[in-house]
Amino acid sequence: MKRDALFSKLKEFGLTTQKVYMDEAFSRNIGLLTEEEQEKLANAKVAIPGMGGVGGVHLITLIRTGVGKFHLADFDTYEPANINRQFGARVPDFGRPKLDVMVEQALSINPYLEINEFPEGINEANMDDFLGGVEVVLDGLDFFNFDTRRLLFNRAREKGTYVITAGPLGFSSAMLIFSPHEGMGFDEYFDIHDVMPDEEKYLSFATGLAPKATHIKYMDFSRVDFSSRAGPSSSIACQLCSAMAATEAVRILLKRKRIKSVPYYYQFDPYTQEYRKGYLFFGNRNPIQRAKMFYVKTFLLEKKKELFPMPPELPKVKVTEKTVPGDVVRYIIKAGIQAPSGDNAQPWKFSWQGNTISLYLNREADYSFFNIKQLASIISCGAAIENMRLAATAFGLEGRIAYLPDAKNDNLMASMELCVRGGKKDPLCNSIWNRHTNRKLYDKKPIPESILGHLASRVSDIPGAKLHLVTDESDLKKIAKMVYKVDRIRTEHRPLHEHLCKMIRFTDREAQEKRDGLPLKNLEAGLAGEVFLRMTRPWWVMNLVNTSGLGRMVALHSYQAILNSSAAALLTVRGMETQDFLRGGQALERVWLTMTQKGLSMQPMTAITLFWLRCQLEGDRAFSEDHRGLLQETFEEYQELFPDVNFHEEGQIMLFRMGRGGPIKQCTYRKDLEAFLRDEGKKDNEIWDTQNPF
């Protein structure tokens, strides 16, 4: 409703002036506030940066308390993942700017409000305007928005403005008050230095915000994801934050007594039924705080960093102009590089010109027996395209894809034009940096039908792509037997064995230096398995082991892995052309990211599909007589299991297993962006034309 319409509505109730409305609307505050204080609040100006979980409720709470003037900032839009806690998040408003929605909500409560809007968010350039004439700031910034928070708090202190921060931690609220006149400043209290890695800044902020940390007793910290800058959050905590922060704001605005600024701290946790408050001598420089931070940094953060390297810093820009900044393009390409690829070969190259990114297939990266006609690499390129398309949405960009745009260059897989569209960020973006292959045994509990249905619908967004799910235990056993047979071939076929050994990084140093291939621990083979893999590196040893029958242990491991899964699935596409496999790779990445988002693990089991493709495209002459027999048996069972698939006309993208697996020991690495930039001076055939042995 527009303001005029709101005023007309008030008139219907006989509320014809601001004074008459204010007296009536806020009459029930009287007794806690006096009439004079109520008037003072109506003329008070409060700033709230961030209209999310806490910022949105801060605003509504203060309006209902009678505050009349606001400076509000937010550049984000609502998305489904906001529903659990953000005041303005409602289905009809998905994709709408948070600021617009909250201003509408605010005016519908008090149409006489004065609101200054900062739709670009707050930054160095507008900070003075944002703080102009403001008496109190209620911090509604995201936990991970550290640098902006630091700028805001320090500038507010210079300008004589109070800042209150209340953080929703678990089911609790932890609050600090920063006074411009007394106590400690932001940098001093949190012990912040200019050159500090992001994770240390977050750690300092979290430890200083809640020195007693009541929430750590019950919160699952494995769900805190630095990479996507997200963690567990609750509406209960957001409401508490507002109750605590707004009470202090009223105290400050009305110059009432007992304002206790940092190093005083407060945490109210209804879940543990505790109210903790105290005085933290020296802030984070307090020796106990230092010891806590040392422990977390040394034993927890370093371990996690080793497992999942931090994603690149998200450039803090929303692209509105015609030319997309280089930082944004680089970020989008890095998202592409994060895609999965057979043996982590990373078979791609990139270039960009203006707003268009080109993705090339790098044939040289993988000339293995498995990579028949480069199909596995083409699937990986498809996955990289999907990652880039998704990452672009984080900047309000739409990636318009042209497949195989140059008939004269069959290495050029696709070009993606980045167009300013201003739409919402795709929630799958967050999973790009923590999607991974999990080769552990999974728990066998069935996956809820609703999740399976969601996965299938994710795939069907790509025309012609289809997910064929296998959940029945006896069918899973059939797949396990098939995988056992083809995995036997894997160990008994010399080129396959030698290629796998070439791609395993047997030491940490080798893994970190080469930054491709499979770190030994990533294979989750256990100690005995690792010794086995090391010992059987030379073909003659493996051959000997095969002759004794011991080689089948590897295939047995794959058999067990399928049985210890909740489900398996075959992803297919309509045709068998390059473009179909690219689209298939996109569908694969989409379903893999969705599984990551839902906390599901997955492992590709591609020997069957890739052997099938080889036999179909090149015949079976590369296999021994024995192996041909095994393959024939397997293919017959395989076709029986998926009667809906037309194996001669539909492209098989991937067979995989899924379920809930424990955390993996070691992730794979990626080379730096520079390693993938195409040398524009050379022709493709000069760069990549080496002989394919297969």
HSE, CB side, 13 Å, CA atoms: give it for residue 139: 29
HSE, CB side, 13 Å, CA atoms: give it for residue 355: 16
**Measured from the CB of residue 516, what is the shortest distance to ligand FMN in angstroms?**
9
- Closer to ligand FMN by CB, 61 or 606: give it: 606
Residue type for 247, please? T
Residue 431 within binding range of ligand FMN, rule CB under 6 A: no
The piece of 165-173, 374-382, 544-552, 612-620 that touches ligand FMN (CB under 6 A) is: 374-382
The piece of 173-181, 291-299, 314-322, 372-380 that touches ligand FMN (CB under 6 A) is: 372-380
Residue 436 within binding range of ligand FMN, rule CB under 6 A: yes
Instruction: Cite the DSSP H helix spans in 426-525.
Output: 449-460, 473-492, 494-503, 508-514
Q: Give the residue, chosen from 145, 173, 437, 565, that forms a contact with ligand FMN under the rule CB under 6 A.
A: 437
Q: Please give the Cα distance from 465 to 269 (Å, whole number).
A: 48
Residue 379 within binding range of ligand FMN, rule CB under 6 A: yes
The piece of 211-219, 295-303, 376-384, 399-407 that touches ligand FMN (CB under 6 A) is: 376-384
- 168 - beta bridge partners? 173
Residue 603 within binding range of ligand FMN, rule CB under 6 A: yes
- Closer to ligand FMN by CB, 66 or 342: give it: 342
Residue type for 339, please? A
Terminus-to-terminus CA distance in the chain, angstroms? 68
C-beta separation of 328 from 315 below 8 A? yes
Q: Going by C-beta distance under 8 Å and a sequence separation of 6 or more, which residues neighbour residue 545? A: 536, 551
- Closer to ligand FMN by CB, 342 or 399: give it: 342
The piece of 14-22, 119-127, 340-348, 684-692 that touches ligand FMN (CB under 6 A) is: 340-348
C-beta separation of 383 from 653 below 8 A? no
Q: Give the residue, chosen from 161, 234, 261, 341, that forms a contact with ligand FMN under the rule CB under 6 A.
A: 341
- 30 - beta bridge partners? 33
- Closer to ligand FMN by CB, 379 or 429: give it: 379
Q: Please give the Cα distance from 169 to 428 (Å, whole number).
A: 24
- Closer to ligand FMN by CB, 261 or 606: give it: 606
C-beta separation of 230 from 139 below 8 A? no
Residue in 657, 659, 452, 661 with CA at minimum distance from that of residue 562: 657
- Closer to ligand FMN by CB, 78 or 581: give it: 581
Residue 342 within binding range of ligand FMN, rule CB under 6 A: yes
> If binding means CB under 6 A, how many residues of this protein chain bind ligand FMN?
19
Determine phi and psi for 246, rounding to 5 degrees. -65, -35
Name the residue with the smallest CB distance to ligand FMN.
Answer: 340
Residue 379 structure tokens: 């699937």
- Closer to ligand FMN by CB, 240 or 414: give it: 414
Q: Give the residue, chosen from 269, 343, 366, 426, that forms a contact with ligand FMN under the rule CB under 6 A.
A: 343
The piece of 34-42, 159-167, 341-349, 400-408 that touches ligand FMN (CB under 6 A) is: 341-349
Here's the x/- map for ligand FMN, 654-673, by CB under 6 A: it reads as -------------xx-----
Residue type for 151, please? L
Pairing mode, strands 45-49 and 136-139: parallel
C-beta separation of 608 from 655 below 8 A? yes
**Measured from the CB of residue 341, what is the shortest distance to ligand FMN in angstroms?**
5
Provide the b/e sequence for 274-297 (b: ≥16 CB within 10 Å): eebeeebeebbebeebeebbeebe
**Measured from the CB of residue 340, what is the shortest distance to ligand FMN in angstroms?**
3
- Closer to ligand FMN by CB, 210 or 379: give it: 379
Here's the x/- map for ligand FMN, 604-623, by CB under 6 A: it reads as xxxx----------------
**Measured from the CB of residue 522, what is the shortest distance to ligand FMN in angstroms?**
7
Q: Please give the Cα distance from 418 to 392 (Å, whole number).
A: 7
Q: Please give the Cα distance from 83 to 78 (Å, whole number).
A: 9
**Measured from the CB of residue 587, what is the shortest distance to ligand FMN in angstroms?**
12
- Closer to ligand FMN by CB, 219 or 379: give it: 379
Residue 77 within binding range of ligand FMN, rule CB under 6 A: no
- Closer to ligand FMN by CB, 149 or 436: give it: 436
- Closer to ligand FMN by CB, 262 or 615: give it: 615
Residue in 372, 401, 392, 416 with CA at minimum distance from that of residue 462: 401
The piece of 227-235, 349-357, 421-429, 601-609 that touches ligand FMN (CB under 6 A) is: 601-609
Residue type for 630, please? L
- Closer to ligand FMN by CB, 77 or 437: give it: 437
Residue in 376, 418, 415 with CA at minimum distance from that of residue 397: 418
Residue 340 within binding range of ligand FMN, rule CB under 6 A: yes
Residue 479 within binding range of ligand FMN, rule CB under 6 A: no
* SS3 state at 609: helix
HSE, CB side, 13 Å, CA atoms: give it for residue 364: 9
- Closer to ligand FMN by CB, 82 or 437: give it: 437
Q: Please give the Cα distance from 206 to 215 (Å, whole number).
A: 11
Q: Please give the Cα distance from 601 to 485 (Å, whole number).
A: 24
Q: Give the residue, chosen from 207, 228, 344, 387, that forms a contact with ligand FMN under the rule CB under 6 A.
A: 344
Residue 152 within binding range of ligand FMN, rule CB under 6 A: no
Residue 558 within binding range of ligand FMN, rule CB under 6 A: no
Residue 583 within binding range of ligand FMN, rule CB under 6 A: no
**Measured from the CB of residue 548, what is the shortest distance to ligand FMN in angstroms?**
25
- Closer to ligand FMN by CB, 245 or 605: give it: 605
Q: Please give the Cα distance from 225 to 434 (Å, whole number).
A: 9
**Measured from the CB of residue 21, what is the shortest distance to ligand FMN in angstroms?**
59
Q: Please give the Cα distance from 386 to 388 (Å, whole number).
A: 5
**Measured from the CB of residue 409, what is the shortest distance to ligand FMN in angstroms?**
23
Residue 515 structure tokens: 């930054």
* SS3 state at 525: coil
- Closer to ligand FMN by CB, 133 or 663: give it: 663
Question: Helix and strand tally (H, E) in the chain?
Answer: 25, 19
Judged by CB under 6 A, the chain residues 503 through 532 that form the site for ligand FMN are 518
Tokens 């194996």 locate to 647
**Measured from the CB of residue 561, what is the shortest distance to ligand FMN in angstroms?**
9
Instruction: List interacting residues with ligand FMN (CB under 6 A).
Output: 340-344, 376, 379-380, 436-437, 439, 518, 603-607, 667-668
